[in-house]
Amino acid sequence: MSTAGKTAIVTGSSRGIGKAVAERLAKDGFSVVVNYSGDAAAAEETVTAIKWAGGKAIAFKADVADEVAVAAMFDAAEAEFGGIDVVVNSAGIMVLSPIAELKLEDLDRMHRINIRGTFVVNQQAARRVRHGGAIVNLSTSVEKQAIPGYAAYAASKGAVEAIGMILARELRGRRITVNTVAPGPTATDLFLKGKDDALIAQMAKLNPMERLGTPEDIAEVISFLAGRNTWINGQVLYANGGMN
């Protein structure tokens, strides 16, 4: 499938998995909108890296839970590159705590970004992605592990999976695939924050490959779904080295 003249929006792409996805899709030939919510310098670094490698990219600040800001981002993508073919929603936050101890304001924050943000981005994508395009959301493999402390985060990602599976069916007739990628433990700032070396080593051994995933591992899966997939649709793909 040719990516010539095609455009991708990648939310949360100033760092981590989103950054790796933006750079990989640019390498694949997509023009890329690098979305960020706060760190403009990091987003510009991603744009610079893409341009240095010969790709096309712009940065756009938008809170994914703000429908006005997200609509403006889609407007900017269409104005700059002529249309939208792929949307990857990787923006998300994670707060870990036992259910009995979790602050409800942290639960609300995760619901706002992870659930409302996914819904808002997917709503614009459903309206604007061109026929033959792709929508990819990010979930987590931790749901199947039932690890204490992850209840609120896993619950928010369960909602992400439901949104994707239903949207795939609502887009019948437009040849747009909608899938969710569920990474296992991946070496990003989001995952590593607050964990000691012993816990990280323990989680790395949960899969038979006996290592953490890398952002590039996940970007490889999304690259396929965005540019070479025409038949996998409405699915949750577990990218975790065989953890489940």
Structure tokens at 230: 């025409």
Annotated active-site residue in 36, 150, 153, 238: 153
Half-sphere exposure for 91 (CA within 13 Å, toward CB): 33
Backbone angles phi, psi at 49, to 5 degrees: -65, -40
Rounded to the nearest 5°, which phi and psi values hold at 9? -105, 130
Angle at 14 between CA 178 and CA 152, to 5 degrees: 60
- List Cα–Cα distances, 31 to 77, 83, 113, 119, 209, in angstroms: 9, 10, 25, 24, 34
- Sequence letter at residue 220: E
Instruction: Indicate the SS3 state at residue 4.
Output: coil
Residue 7, helix vs strand vs coil: strand
Torsion region of 216: left, alpha or beta (phi above 0 gives left; psi -120 to 50 gives alpha): alpha
H helix runs in the chain, sequence order: 16-28, 40-52, 67-81, 104-110, 117-128, 151-170, 189-192, 197-204, 215-227
Q: Say which amino acid occupies 131.
A: H
**CA–centroid distance for 64 within its chain:** 12
238 is catalytic: no
Catalytic sites, residue numbers: 153
